[in-house]
Amino acid sequence: MRIEVLGSGCAKCQRLYAEAERAVAEAGVAADLVKVEDVPSIVARGVMLTPALAVDGRIVSSGRVPSASEIAGWLREAAA
Active site residue 13: yes
Q: How many domains does the chain have?
A: 1
5: annotated active-site residue: no
Query: 0.75 exceeded by the pTM?
Result: yes
* Helix, strand, coil tally for the chain in percent (to 5): 45, 25, 30
Domain span including residue 36: 2-79
User: Which entry of 13, 27, 54, 71 is annotated as an active-site residue?
Assistant: 13
What CATH number is attached to the domain comprising 62?
3.40.30.10
- pLDDT exceeds 90 at position 80: no
pLDDT tens for residues 2-58?
A: 999 999 989 999 999 999 999 999 999 999 999 999 999 999 999 999 999 999 999
Q: Which entry of 2, 8, 9, 10 is annotated as an active-site residue? A: 10
